């Protein structure tokens, strides 16, 4: 039994005869009659009462019609779903992000994607940049809003610049430099530094070390934390000062100030990254939306 048999059968039943079904399907009447006979032979029952001029469904035909319609509807739905899948309109998408690095644009992108692609199941997973890179390679997330991919991962991951974030010094309001509009990192040379653990945030960690080296000193590291909120908490506890991207202001409290660094190169990039072997039509749909929403790098800004 093939779907063609079911389509011919339903067309005859709904159009009240073989001639009308032939016109409806644009198929020769003889071909329809032959297919219906084959179907009846396979089922072992007569589906139509042919005694009268206008054929009617038999009792068995009425029962079969209901199921035939259901099968055809299911087949049509399967075809439609495949087409939606090819267009990236149906499926799943797991997105990695980290608090303090996605700003206000991230919720807006997610909301718009959910609105435009209602049949895509979106999952959001918070994780540090270093963890995202490993998760992308494993396929446990599909795309990440993260820091630039490290050289060791560049061969297996693709990434695109999304925006550039200036770097700020994070100080207690009681700090002597707290009222400055900007400062150079060398002015913090005698402070204890609270840093992101390099294992989880290698780009920010390396940027701080580089800025300090260019200013002629090596930072005295008081403590490290795996994520931005931990760094903020340690600064607020009086354990030292921190150097964080401006987006981390969303994690701050009234007890802290974020003062932009005036040093050349005091910025880090935010990128979107994914694994080409795990690329799907849904991912491509999301990438298309992100590219449209991507912020342009500010004048004079560079890349890490």
Same domain, 76 and 221: no
Q: What is the pLDDT of residues 24-35, one digit of tens each?
A: 888 888 888 888
CATH of the domain at 55: 1.10.10.10
**Strand ranges (E), 119-177:** 120-126, 143-146, 158-172
Same domain, 157 and 71: no
Q: Which of 51, 86, 121 is the last residue of a domain?
A: 86
| pTM score | 0.70
- Parent domain of 105: 91-162+269-293
- Alpha-carbon gap, residue 242 to 245, rounded angstroms: 10
Q: What is the pLDDT of residues 69-127, one digit of tens each?
A: 888 888 888 877 777 677 667 789 999 998 877 777 889 999 999 999 998 999 999 99
CA 273 to chain centre: 10
Same domain, 72 and 30: yes
Same domain, 158 and 275: yes
Same domain, 112 and 35: no
How large a percentage of the chain has pLDDT more than 90?
51
Residues 6+ apart with CB under 8 A from 14: 21
């Amino acid at each position: 039994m093939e779907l063609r048999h079911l389509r011919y059968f339903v067309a005859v039943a709904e159009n009240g005869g073989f001639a009308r079904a032939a016109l409806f399907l644009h198929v020769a009447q003889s071909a329809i009659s032959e297919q219906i006979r084959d179907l009846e032979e396979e089922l072992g029952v007569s589906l139509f009462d042919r005694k009268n001029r206008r054929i009617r469904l038999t009792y068995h035909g009425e029962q079969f019609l209901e199921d035939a319609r259901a099968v055809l509807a299911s087949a049509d739905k399967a075809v439609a779903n495949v087409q939606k899948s090819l267009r990236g309109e149906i499926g799943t998408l797991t997105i990695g992000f980290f608090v303090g690095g996605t700003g206000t644009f991230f919720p807006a992108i997610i909301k718009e994607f959910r609105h435009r692609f209602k049949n895509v199941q979106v999952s959001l997973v918070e994780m540090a940049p270093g963890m995202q890179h490993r998760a992308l390679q494993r396929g446990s997330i599909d795309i990440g809003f993260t820091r630039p991919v490290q050289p060791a991962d560049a061969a297996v991951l693709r990434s695109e610049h999304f925006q550039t974030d200036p770097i700020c010094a994070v100080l207690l309001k009681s700090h002597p430099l707290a009222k400055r509009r900007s400062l150079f990192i060398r002015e913090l040379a005698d402070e204890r530094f609270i840093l992101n653990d390099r294992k989880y945030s290698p780009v920010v960690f390396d940027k701080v070390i580089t800025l300090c080296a260019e200013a002629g000193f090596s930072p005295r590291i008081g403590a490290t934390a795996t994520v931005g909120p931990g760094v903020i908490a340690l600064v607020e506890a009086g354990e030292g000062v921190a150097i964080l991207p401006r987006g981390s202001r969303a994690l701050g409290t009234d007890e802290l100030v974020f003062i932009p660094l005036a040093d050349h190169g005091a910025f880090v990039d935010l990128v979107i990254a994914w694994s080409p072997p795990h690329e799907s039509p849904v991912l491509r749909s999301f990438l298309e939306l992100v590219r449209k929403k991507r912020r342009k790098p500010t004048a004079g800004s560079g890349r890490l």
